[in-house]
A and B are shown apart, each in its own frame.
Chain A
Amino acid sequence: MAAQGRHGGRKSNKMTALVVDDNMVNQTIHHRLLDNLGIENEAVSNGKEAVDIHCSGKTFDLILMDMDMPVMNGIEATRKLREMGIRSMIAGVSTRSMEREVQEFMEAGLDDYQVKPLTVSKLISIIHKING
Chain B
Amino acid sequence: MLGLDADQLRADMNRLLAFLFHQGILDDQFLQLQQLQDENSPNFVSQVVNIYFHESEKLLRNLRSSLMDRELLSYDKIRIHLNQFIGSSSSIGAQRVRNICAAFRAASDHSNRTGCLRALEVLEHEYCILKSKLHELFQIEQQILLAAGVRYPVMN
Interfacial residues, chain A to chain B (CB-CB below 8 A): 22-26, 28-29, 32-33, 36, 66, 68, 70, 94-95, 116-120
Docked pose: A70 CA to B29 CA in angstroms = 26
| Interface footprint category on B | 20 to 34
Stretch at the interface among B11-19, B47-55, B116-124: B47-55
A25 touches B36 (CB 8 A): no
B21: min CB distance to chain A, Å: 16
Residue of A nearest to B28 (CB): A119
Docked pose: A119 CA to B67 CA in angstroms = 34
B43: min CB distance to chain A, Å: 12
Question: For residue A66, which residues in chain B have a CB less than 8 angstroms away from its CB?
Answer: 87
Question: For residue A24, which residues in chain B have a CB less than 8 angstroms away from its CB?
Answer: 51, 55
Beyond A24-B55, A66-B87, 9 additional pairs, beta carbon < 8 A: A23-B87, A25-B48, A25-B52, A26-B88, A29-B92, A32-B36, A68-B83, A118-B91, A120-B32
Question: For residue B55, which residues in chain A have a CB less than 8 angstroms away from its CB?
Answer: 23-25
Knowing A26-B88, A32-B36 touch, does A95 contact B83 (C-beta < 8 A)? yes
B51 touches A36 (CB 8 A): no
B32 touches A95 (CB 8 A): no
Question: For residue A70, which residues in chain B have a CB less than 8 angstroms away from its CB?
Answer: 80
Docked pose: A29 CA to B49 CA in angstroms = 11
A4: min CB distance to chain B, Å: 31
9 A–B pairs (Cβ distance < 8 Å), ordered by A: A25-B48, A25-B92, A26-B87, A28-B47, A68-B83, A68-B84, A95-B87, A116-B87, A117-B32
7 cross-chain pairs, A with B, having the tightest CB-CB distances, nearest first:
A25-B88, A117-B90, A117-B91, A68-B83, A95-B86, A117-B29, A25-B52
Using a CB-CB cutoff of 8 Å, which residues 36-52 of chain B contact chain A? 36, 41, 44, 47-48, 51-52
Docked pose: A23 CA to B91 CA in angstroms = 10
